[in-house]
Chains A and B, each alone.
Chain A
């Protein structure tokens, strides 16, 4: 046993956890949220470097098979850390305006990120459970940041009660799988699994727990309420990093625990959930008048597109899901960032679509960037969202799931309506009254510009001769 090697393979998580402790302690002893902020940025950036380094390293398992390193896990870690980094950089200005800027917020974000990193590399149901709970418990706290506002407390309560409820299912699933196979390690389970009643019930309950966390229909009811009642930049954190981590864990469970179709036809289950999620998410989003709530339903719809990749169940599908998570993290963090910018000028009710009338010309760079992010979310080329959708739907076609791909493309076409509606308000409606917008801060503005540039760059990258990201991801599944 080489413990040093084990620790090294989970280095990003350890760095983030230590930075989290430092952020909390600095707040307690120095009362300086700005120091906590710097520590947070530094910790995440260093962890990100190590995670990127391990992308190109070899893959394997560590801690007696409890976690994986390299490959899928490394890519998941990179996506999670990117999401966390962008959300933290845009959080400072926004939280300052809400008068919520204190070091504990960063501590909670970092602890939550530690959980996500564990989730993205879990190779054992125990790791999966503990990481998921570390992530969720910190997110319950973050959801309740605006504890003196009624909607803040309400969103925290809803998230907490439903989250704890779903934990019960997840844990019962783990217990039944353990009972059926006498193992909690994903590969050992795969070796010992028989399609008995006990095992099928257990896997079903495990899936219910995971569906809940990724907000798949019919377990999505908490999403819009929680997303609306949470400070917008924290919502971005939940929608990008938390969702990515859970999806990577889902990919690991599907590829390592359920590699053969002899132990239950889970691909059909995923297909049904994918169809429901895409249709329900997009249809309800059409009727939303609040931009933040619209993005919440759109995030449900995007969970549906990701489910299409999982349902395809082939290498291209899993690789597509990973690419999509990267794309989704970039464009969604950006969209929530611009909304946070508009909102912090005028308070929480400034997310109604009416108040966006004529805003596009006020601070042109922000209007243009919101348009870029929304075009990307709608899946219009040459944005990264289009490439992501192309990969998952192409994988579904390759797996022979033509009807699923058709429903996905149609649902995606319907989604253009509600994204473009925001832009119509931004540019083609007269403002009811004159609003003045503050100039965005340096860090805030350049983070969003970087996100917009990445959104466009990775939209054209696959057609360039230097195309590399998808090849990198695909290499995890072809070896």
Chain B
């Protein structure tokens, strides 16, 4: 039996990788993938806690979070497509009309 600490550590590491990715990458699609990584890291945390507590609430929340992530992906890719049509690029450093 692997202890819960390891699962939590793994999901914390995944969350941090996603977080750093959002902050340093320049491609909108890669940033979006990093956000998805963060959400999935949280799902892992929820499942570990759910199993640790012997309580299903956490697993139910995971289903909701998957559905939300899917809805977000639909909208997100559509927005990135709109950006690509306007700018012919998904580089977020070129999306800079609005500032201050």
Asked whether A23 is an interface residue with its Cβ less than 8 Å from the other chain, the reply is no
Contact for B65 among A129, A144, A229, CB less than 8 A = A129
Please determine whether A164 and B28 come into contact, CB atoms closer than 8 angstroms: no
Contact for A179 among B31, B39, B45, B64, CB less than 8 A = B45
Q: How far is the CB of A418 from chain B (nearest CB, A)?
A: 15
CA distance A126 to B72 in the complex (A): 17
Please determine whether B64 and A154 come into contact, CB atoms closer than 8 angstroms: no
Please determine whether A137 and B92 come into contact, CB atoms closer than 8 angstroms: no
| Contact mask for chain B residues 54-67; partner A; CB cutoff 8 A; 1 contact, 0 none | 01011011001100
> Which of B42-100 touch A at CB < 8 Å?
42, 45-46, 48-50, 52-53, 55, 57-58, 60-61, 64-65, 68, 71-72, 75-76, 78-80, 82-83, 85-87, 92, 95-100
Q: How far is the CB of B17 from chain A (nearest CB, A)?
A: 12
CA distance A184 to B59 in the complex (A): 12
Neighbouring A residues of B53 by C-beta, 8 Å:
179, 182
| Contact mask for chain A residues 300-325; partner B; CB cutoff 8 A; 1 contact, 0 none | 00000000000000000000000000
CA distance A137 to B67 in the complex (A): 12
Please determine whether A150 and B87 come into contact, CB atoms closer than 8 angstroms: yes
CB-nearest residue of chain B to A130: B64
> Which of A154-182 touch B at CB < 8 Å?
154-158, 160-161, 164-165, 167-168, 171-172, 174-176, 178-179, 182
Neighbouring B residues of A144 by C-beta, 8 Å:
78-79, 82
Interface residues on A, range: 35 or more
Neighbouring A residues of B97 by C-beta, 8 Å:
150-151, 154
Neighbouring A residues of B42 by C-beta, 8 Å:
168, 171-172, 175
Asked whether A140 is an interface residue with its Cβ less than 8 Å from the other chain, the reply is yes
> Which of B1-36 touch A at CB < 8 Å?
8, 15, 18-19, 22, 28, 31-32, 35
Neighbouring A residues of B28 by C-beta, 8 Å:
157, 161
Please determine whether A157 and B92 come into contact, CB atoms closer than 8 angstroms: yes
Neighbouring B residues of A168 by C-beta, 8 Å:
15, 18-19, 35, 38-39, 42
Q: How far is the CB of B70 from chain A (nearest CB, A)?
A: 10
**Taking A129-B61, A130-B64, A165-B22 as contacts, is the C-beta distance between A151 and B98 under 8 angstroms?**
yes
Please determine whether A153 and B82 come into contact, CB atoms closer than 8 angstroms: yes
Interface residues on B, range: 35 or more
Neighbouring B residues of A225 by C-beta, 8 Å:
98-99
Q: How far is the CB of B90 from chain A (nearest CB, A)?
A: 9
**Taking A164-B32, A165-B35, A224-B98 as contacts, is the C-beta distance between A157 and B80 under 8 angstroms?**
yes
Neighbouring B residues of A141 by C-beta, 8 Å:
75
Please determine whether B72 and A164 come into contact, CB atoms closer than 8 angstroms: yes
Please determine whether B61 and A126 come into contact, CB atoms closer than 8 angstroms: yes
CB-nearest residue of chain B to A170: B42
Q: How far is the CB of A112 from chain B (nearest CB, A)?
A: 12
Q: How far is the CB of A222 from chain B (nearest CB, A)?
A: 10
CA distance A384 to B58 in the complex (A): 44
Please determine whether A156 and B98 come into contact, CB atoms closer than 8 angstroms: no
| Contact mask for chain A residues 113-153; partner B; CB cutoff 8 A; 1 contact, 0 none | 00000000000001001100100010011001001111101
CA distance A133 to B35 in the complex (A): 14
Neighbouring A residues of B22 by C-beta, 8 Å:
161, 165
A144, A165, A175, A182: which has the most chain B beta carbons within 10 Å? A175
CA distance A140 to B79 in the complex (A): 9
| Contact mask for chain A residues 332-362; partner B; CB cutoff 8 A; 1 contact, 0 none | 0000000000000000000000000000000
CA distance A149 to B98 in the complex (A): 12
Please determine whether B95 and A154 come into contact, CB atoms closer than 8 angstroms: yes
CA distance A84 to B35 in the complex (A): 30
CA distance A149 to B15 in the complex (A): 34
Please determine whether A155 and B98 come into contact, CB atoms closer than 8 angstroms: yes
Neighbouring A residues of B32 by C-beta, 8 Å:
161, 164
CB-nearest residue of chain B to A288: B100
CA distance A225 to B92 in the complex (A): 14
Contact for A164 among B15, B57, B58, B76, CB less than 8 A = B76
CB-nearest residue of chain B to A152: B82
Asked whether A228 is an interface residue with its Cβ less than 8 Å from the other chain, the reply is yes
User: Considering the complex of A and B, which 7 residue pairs feature the smallest CB-CB distances, nearest first?
Assistant: A168-B38, A179-B49, A225-B98, A182-B53, A175-B45, A147-B82, A153-B82
Listed by A's residue number, 18 A-B pairs whose Cβ atoms lie within 8 Å are A129-B64, A129-B68, A137-B72, A144-B78, A149-B86, A153-B82, A153-B83, A154-B96, A157-B95, A164-B35, A167-B72, A168-B15, A172-B38, A175-B58, A176-B45, A178-B46, A178-B49, A178-B58
Q: Could you list which residues of chain B lie within 8 angstroms of chain A, going by C-beta atoms? A: 8, 15, 18-19, 22, 28, 31-32, 35, 38-39, 41-42, 45-46, 48-50, 52-53, 55, 57-58, 60-61, 64-65, 68, 71-72, 75-76, 78-80, 82-83, 85-87, 92, 95-100
Q: A137-B71, A171-B42, A179-B53 are in contact. List 18 more A-B contacts (CB 8 A).
A: A129-B68, A137-B68, A137-B75, A140-B75, A140-B79, A151-B97, A153-B87, A154-B96, A157-B28, A160-B79, A161-B28, A165-B38, A176-B45, A178-B58, A178-B61, A179-B8, A182-B53, A225-B98
